[in-house]
């Protein structure tokens, strides 16, 4: 107990948490609008989710149950370290089960299981500005947001179609929130975009390096941008998950050998484990030893 007593609850001091909560409240009040906040140095490098960690630290309470995912997985370095961080500095209960969690901090995925009322999804965002690579001037992009000048966003989609014959943007696919602000949903695959629409959970986005927080409140309209003759589409996979047999989920390709062998597995590890526990088996799911050969 002495070791952690030198930290305030959830690491950040109370004044900082108040400041971040005010930014979060403003963000919720103006869905999709990027609210500046005074981002703090965190005991981890930028790119590891300092924005998400600050948001989580500001909203977490002793009764919360935390789940952290990184590319859908609960067991990768980023997820494990952030979970351990909060277990240490906030002594909260952690879980890998989506349904049990009250706060889910995520890097680049939305869990397959639909989120419910009372759950909060915290995204780690590297670049909050969807117009950044089209218009490098921050003064100009802010003006464009203010005046709702979003034609440029379609220039990017136009370029995609001109070059690839279809909209080739597969992640960080721009969305319009509640008919007003164009927002970068962080580098989640566009597969997850429809899950943001009318979600029952509160979605908070924290960009630590860029000092921005934005939010999508529950039951908010989130529409992916597209053209009339090139409508928005999500990714489709040829085969189901090799371990649990799930289709209609986002899959990762895993290389098995150097002779072209590969398998597709659920990116959401919790969803995959639960399905296998319930008896679902995929093509390679029966015998892991056999699959490895």
Partner 1 sequence: MTEPLLRVENLTKYYGSRLGCADVNFELWPGEVLAIVGESGSGKTTLLNSLSATLEPSSGRTLYRMRDEQWRNIYELSEAERRFLVRTDWGFVHQNPADGLRMTVSAGANVGERLMAVGDRHYGHIRETALDWLGRVEIAADRIDDQPRSFSGGMRQRLQIARNLVTGPRLVFMDEPTGGLDVSVQARLLDLLRGLVGELGLAAIVVTHDLAVARLLSHRMMVMKDGRVIEAGLTDRVLDDPREPYTQLLVSSILQV
Q: Is 114 in the site for partner 1 (CB under 8 A)?
A: no
Two structure tokens written together for 52:
């998400």
- Residue 169 binding partner 1, by CB under 8 A: no
Query: Would you say 155 or 292 has its CB closer to partner 1?
Result: 155
Q: How far is CA 214 from CA 1, 67, 177, in A?
A: 35, 20, 11
Question: Which structure tokens are listed for 30?
Answer: 């103006």
Task: From the candidates 51, 208, 272, 285, give the one annotated as an active-site residue.
Answer: 272
> Does the protein bind partner 1 through residue 290 (CB under 8 A)?
no
Interface with partner 1 (CB under 8 A), residue from 152, 256, 283, 291: 152
249 CB-near residues (< 8 Å, 6+ apart):
112, 241, 266, 267, 268, 271
233 binds partner 1 (CB under 8 A): no
Tell me the site size for partner 1, rule CB under 8 A: 19
Q: Which of 244, 245, 282, 285 is catalytic?
A: 244
137 binds partner 1 (CB under 8 A): no
Residue 51 annotated as catalytic? no
- The answer to whether residue 227 forms part of the interface with partner 1 (CB under 8 A) is yes
**If we measure between CA atoms, which residue out of 196, 214, 197 comes closest to residue 205?**
214
Check if 208 is active-site: no
The catalytically annotated residue of 51, 72, 206, 241 is 241
Concerning whether 72 is annotated as a catalytic residue, the answer is no
Residue among 163, 255, 278, 290 that touches partner 1 (CB under 8 A): 163
Binding site for partner 1 (CB under 8 A): 134, 143, 147, 149, 151-152, 154-156, 158-159, 161-163, 226-230
């Amino acid at each position: 107990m002495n070791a952690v007593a030198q930290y305030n609850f959830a690491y950040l001091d109370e004044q900082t948490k108040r400041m971040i909560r005010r930014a979060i409240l403003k963000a919720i009040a103006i869905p999709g609008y990027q609210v500046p906040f005074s981002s703090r140095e965190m005991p981890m490098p930028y790119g590891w989710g300092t924005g998400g960690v600050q948001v989580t630290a500001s909203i977490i309470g002793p009764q919360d149950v935390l789940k952290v995912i990184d590319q859908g997985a609960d067991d990768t370095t980023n997820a494990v370290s952030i979970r351990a961080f909060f277990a240490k500095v906030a002594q909260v209960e952690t879980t890998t089960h989506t349904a049990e969690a009250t706060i889910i901090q995520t890097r680049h995925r939305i869990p397959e299981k639909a989120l419910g009322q009372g759950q909060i999804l915290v995204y780690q965002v590297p670049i909050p500005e969807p117009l950044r690579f089209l218009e490098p001037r921050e003064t100009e992009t802010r003006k464009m947001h203010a005046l709702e000048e979003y034609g440029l966003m379609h220039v990017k989609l136009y370029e995609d179609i001109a070059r690839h014959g279809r909209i080739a943007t597969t992640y960080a696919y721009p969305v319009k929130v509640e008919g007003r602000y164009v927002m970068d949903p962080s580098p989640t695959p566009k597969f997850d975009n429809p899950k943001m629409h009318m979600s029952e959970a509160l979605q908070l986005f924290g960009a630590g390096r860029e000092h921005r927080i934005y939010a999508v409140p529950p039951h908010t309209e989130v529409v992916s941008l597209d053209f009339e003759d090139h409508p928005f589409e999500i990714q489709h996979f040829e085969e189901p998950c090799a371990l649990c047999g799930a289709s209609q989920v986002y899959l990762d390709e895993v290389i098995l050998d150097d002779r072209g062998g590969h398998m597709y597995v659920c990116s959401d590890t919790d969803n995959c484990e639960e399905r296998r526990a319930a008896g679902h088996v995929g093509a390679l799911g029966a015998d892991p030893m056999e699959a490895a050969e």
